[in-house]
């Protein structure tokens, strides 16, 4: 498997930066994208990559990213659609926050596929799209309706892409970690989120997640689960949803009484 031309969004820190560093260490030329231009340039400078700052939730920025990467690299072998946001909220969360979270957590992947698939499909060598979802896309995240809903949508879109285009050379994989030691999780913990505090206890370093991703690309399995226990939770949710929901509500009551 040759992955010499890689693009990573949300690569200014966390999982994205770890992915960029890992693929660069393996010999790939990496294009680093992040909304934070300084962070993107810092990571790119560390790995000898190319920084292309921009907003993954803006289609014109995504098209610019892909056009630039294609021109600089001569093509793209792997696109890591990793940008994401997490905000606390429930049914009262303002529409603007719902729209922002949906834009980053869902539409960013749509924009990537719109721009890339016409170049990729039926192009000979298989092409790979890694979508960073979350265990919340398989389960839920107490304390954040927007994150739970948008990550379920992201997973559904990844499934649809794989089901629709696998025979035309597109390999789609969904990365679904639980807690990872990133600024996103730290901010949730600082806000006193019970769910974030619980996730922090078993949080993995982003470098460990990146290593697992690198090892999982070869077999091409759809779900990449850095936390093995998530598979058991997912099976329980599917086989006995009432029991699973009862357990989640018990956990919620515990957070409220703490």
Q: What are phi and psi of 42, to 5 degrees?
A: -65, -50
Other C-beta atoms lying within 10 Å of the C-beta of residue 188: 25
- The reply to whether 147 belongs to the active site is yes
Tokens of 239: 């086989």
Secondary element (H or E) of residue 118: helix 108-120
Of 29, 42, 131, 106, the residue nearest 74 (C-alpha): 29
Active-site choice (111, 147, 157, 165): 147
Say if residue 149 is exposed, middle or buried (CB neighbours under 10 Å; 0-12, 13-18, 19+): buried
Q: How many helices (H) does the chain have, and how many strands (E)?
A: 11, 7
DSSP state of 144: B
Of 156, 71, 79, the residue nearest 112 (C-alpha): 79
Residue 69 contacts residue 31 (beta carbons within 8 Å): yes
- Catalogue the active-site residues: 147
């Amino acid at each position: 498997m040759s992955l010499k031309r890689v693009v990573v969004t949300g690569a200014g820190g966390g999982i994205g930066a770890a992915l960029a560093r890992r693929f660069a260490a393996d010999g790939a030329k990496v294009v680093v994208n992040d909304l934070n231009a300084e962070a993107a340039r810092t990571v790119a400078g560390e790995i000898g990559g190319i920084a292309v700052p921009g907003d993954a939730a803006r289609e014109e920025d995504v098209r610019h990213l892909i056009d630039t990467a294609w021109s600089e690299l001569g093509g793209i072998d792997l696109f890591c659609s990793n940008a994401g946001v997490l905000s606390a909220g429930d049914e009262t969360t303002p529409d603007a926050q719902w729209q922002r979270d949906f834009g980053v957590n869902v539409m960013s992947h749509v924009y990537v596929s719109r721009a890339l698939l016409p170049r990729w499909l039926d192009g000979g060598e298989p092409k790979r799209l890694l979508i960073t979802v979350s265990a919340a896309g398989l389960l839920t995240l107490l304390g954040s309706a927007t994150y739970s809903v948008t990550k379920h949508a992201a997973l559904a879109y990844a499934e649809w892409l794989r089901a629709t285009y696998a025979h035309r050379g597109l390999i789609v994989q969904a990365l679904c970690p639980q807690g990872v030691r990133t600024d996103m999780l730290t901010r949730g913990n600082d806000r006193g989120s019970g769910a974030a505090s619980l996730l922090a206890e078993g949080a993995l370093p982003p470098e460990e997640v990146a290593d697992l991703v690198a090892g999982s690309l070869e077999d091409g399995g759809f779900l990449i689960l850095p936390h093995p226990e998530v598979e058991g939770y997912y099976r329980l949710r599917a086989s006995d949803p009432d029991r699973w929901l009862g357990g989640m509500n018990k956990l919620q009551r515990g957070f409220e009484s703490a």
